[in-house]
Amino acid sequence: MNLETVILGFLNMEPMSGYDLSKRIDSSVGFFWHATHPQIYGTLKKMIADGYVTFDHEIQESGPARKVYTITGEGKQFLLEQLPTIEPHLVKFPLLVTMFLGSELGLEFWRKALVDQIEEQEEMLQVYYTILKEIPKVGSSQDLGGYLRKRTLDFGIDYQKFFIKWLKHTLKEIKQ
Amino acid sequence: MNLETVILGFLNMEPMSGYDLSKRIDSSVGFFWHATHPQIYGTLKKMIADGYVTFDHEIQESGPARKVYTITGEGKQFLLEQLPTIEPHLVKFPLLVTMFLGSELGLEFWRKALVDQIEEQEEMLQVYYTILKEIPKVGSSQDLGGYLRKRTLDFGIDYQKFFIKWLKHTLKEIKQ
DNA sequence: TCGAGCATGTAAATGGTTACATGATTGC
DNA sequence: GCAATCATGTAACCATTTACATGCTCGA
């Protein structure tokens, strides 16, 4: 899975601009995939050349014309080829690596670091709760898409809870 | 945090070769940081130029001479500067992204995909349990390093359990 | 004898971040 | 007036992967 596939997946829901893609990716799968705007604009350019997307200018009263991208037949075909091959996940987790390597930083450092982390992660959890309230309830049990999307949000929330619990447990044991 | 810092952290425990680093990183923080061997050899080369490490040839009866790298004073200073700044974690999690984007793949696909994932993740869990049995019990409560390292392994195990539970729950709900 | 593990590396390509660059609108 | 949001993009650099390249040893 690469950014091309992710972008095609979103354009497969509805046509949108590079700016929209950036916001949408961030606020939905942001926890599972991160992409910056230069990366998105660059990839869209490449995908035009590949014939996976087309675009139309959407003139606005103010500011530059939005480029609204639409997935093509070829794009859709590519998407459906790519999606089923689920690759293993990649992680860079500096906190845990630092824990493994950084006992020299001392007890006081770790106490404070853990307190800070707990605070940060609890803020993140609140953000997810807010999103949860905003999404529509999954209606019919026939709606696989709605169910799967809600389940990814559940993952974010439950993971966050798990992580906070682990952090608090570690802090408690370090304190005594 | 970058690979330089990770390598320096390991060389700060004991001098070792690029090959050793590759194995050690993989079997300890592999879950939190991944590095391939060309990356490690390349980074070591750069770090020699920067004066963060030195090396000695260790002649063997057979095969090429091992290059055993040792951290320098400058390297140690750089390490202690870098370690305390804990950066946010980066994740690429194709399974969850695919769930968000891939309802078109259909119920049957997802049933099978989840069953496969559960199997894979349960195998990984067994691997972590094996490592757990092999590491020495954390002795004195004074041993901060031992405690923190054990705690990173706990994270791996508890995360794996959490993930499997989430997968099984999803499979159950998808089945009916 | 064949594959796995030990042990080193280079080269090309791809992927990703950071900084630079522009300019309008809206709300405080 | 200033910050945030909308909206586009380029260029330079840095990080990472994949393929290529070599050669020895040990056990099945």
Q: Are residues A77 and A98 in the same domain?
A: no
Put simply, the chain B residues between 93 and 122 with a CB less than 8 A from any chain A CB are: 93-107, 109-110, 113, 117
Strand partners, B55: B69
Q: Does B49 fall in a domain?
A: yes
Q: Is A119 exposed, middle or buried (0-12, 13-18, 19+ CB in 10 A)?
A: exposed
Tokens of A7: 């972008």
Q: Is A64 exposed, middle or buried (0-12, 13-18, 19+ CB in 10 A)?
A: exposed
Q: List, in order, residues 6 or more apart from B33 with CB less than 8 Å away.
A: A91, A92, A93, A97, B6, B25
Q: Does B88 fall in a domain?
A: no
For residue A51, the number of C-alpha atoms closer than 13 Å in the C-beta half-sphere is 4
The mean per-residue pLDDT over the stretch B88-94 comes to 97
What is residue B16's DSSP assignment?
B
What one-letter code names the amino acid at B137?
K
> How far is A19 from A72, CA to CA, in rounded Å?
19
Q: Identify the H or E element spanning A53.
A: strand A53-58
Question: What pLDDT tens digit does each residue of chain A (176 aa) get?
Answer: 999 999 999 999 999 999 999 999 999 999 999 999 999 999 999 999 999 999 999 887 666 789 999 999 999 999 999 999 999 999 999 999 999 999 999 999 999 999 999 999 999 999 889 888 877 776 667 899 999 999 999 999 999 999 999 999 999 999 87
What one-letter code names the amino acid at A9?
G
Say which range, A132-141, B87-96, B113-122, B161-170, has the weakest mean pLDDT. Answer: A132-141
Q: Does B71 fall in a domain?
A: yes
Q: Answer with the residue of higher pLDDT: B42 or B128.
A: B42
Residue B147, pLDDT > 80, answer yes
Q: Identify the H or E element spanning B90.
A: strand B90-92
Last residue in a domain, options B62, B82, B102: B82
Q: What confidence score (pLDDT) does residue B167 get?
A: 98
C-alpha triplet A109, A110, A116: angle, nearest 5°: 95
Q: What's the farthest any 2 CA atoms get from each other in chain A?
A: 64
Given A94, A99, A109, which is nearest B89 (Cβ)?
A: A94
Contact, A83 vs A77, CB < 8 A?
no
Test B152 with A99 for CB contact under 8 angstroms. Answer: yes
Last residue in a domain, options B39, B62, B82: B82
What one-letter code names the amino acid at B130?
T
pLDDT band, residue B115 (cuts 50/70/90):
very high
Q: Specify which residue's alpha carbon is closest to the C1' of nucleotide D14.
A: B2
The CATH number given to whatever domain includes residue A76 is 1.10.10.10
C-alpha triplet A166, A170, A172: angle, nearest 5°: 120
Contact, A101 vs B6, CB < 8 A?
yes
Q: Are residues B73 and B98 in the same domain?
A: no
Q: Are residues B163 and B110 in the same domain?
A: yes
Residue B154, pLDDT > 90, answer yes
Tally of structural domains, chain B: 2
Q: Specify which residue's alpha carbon is closest to the C1' of nucleotide C11.
A: B38
- B163 CB-to-strand C distance under 7 Å: no
Residue B48, pLDDT > 80, answer yes
Q: Are residues A27 and A70 in the same domain?
A: yes
Q: Which bases of chain C are contacted by protein, using any atom under 7 A from a CB? A: 5-12, 14-19, 23-25
Residue-wise pLDDT tens digits, A133-173: 877 776 667 899 999 999 999 999 999 999 999 999 999 99
B139 in contact with chain A, both atoms CB, cutoff 8 A: no
Q: Does A87 fall in a domain?
A: no
Q: Answer with the residue of higher pLDDT: B45 or B139.
A: B45
Cα R_g (chain B), whole angstroms: 21
Q: Does A106 fall in a domain?
A: yes
Closest CA to A121 of A161, A170, A155: A161
Q: Are residues B71 and B128 in the same domain?
A: no
Tokens of A74: 């070829």
Q: What confidence score (pLDDT) does residue A96 get?
A: 98
Q: Residue B69: helix, strand or coil by DSSP?
A: strand
- A2 CB-to-strand C distance under 7 Å: yes
Q: Are residues A98 and A169 in the same domain?
A: yes
Measured CA B137 to C1' C13 distance, in angstroms: 46
Strand partners, A16: A69
- A46 CB-to-strand C distance under 7 Å: no
Q: Are residues A105 and A171 in the same domain?
A: yes
- Nearest chain B alpha carbon to A28: B100
Give the residue numbers spanning the domain of B66: 3-82
pLDDT band, residue B20 (cuts 50/70/90):
very high
Q: What confidence score (pLDDT) does residue B139 get?
A: 67
Residue B151, pLDDT > 90, answer yes
The mean per-residue pLDDT over the stretch B111-138 comes to 89
Measured CA B8 to C1' C17 distance, in angstroms: 23
> How far is B44 from A93, CA to CA, in rounded Å?
21
Given A32, A105, A148, which is nearest B83 (Cβ)?
A: A105
Q: Does A89 fall in a domain?
A: no
Q: Are residues A102 and A76 in the same domain?
A: no
Chain A residues with CB-CB distance to B98 below 8 A: 1, 83, 86
Q: Does A88 fall in a domain?
A: no
| pTM across the whole model | 0.94
> How far is A105 from A109, CA to CA, in rounded Å?
6
Q: Are residues B7 and B74 in the same domain?
A: yes
Q: Are residues A102 and A135 in the same domain?
A: yes
Last residue in a domain, options A47, A82, A117: A82
Q: Are residues B77 and B105 in the same domain?
A: no
Q: Does B89 fall in a domain?
A: no
What is residue A165's DSSP assignment?
H
Q: Are residues A24 and A63 in the same domain?
A: yes
A17 in contact with chain B, both atoms CB, cutoff 8 A: no
Helices (H) then strands (E): counts for chain B: 7, 3
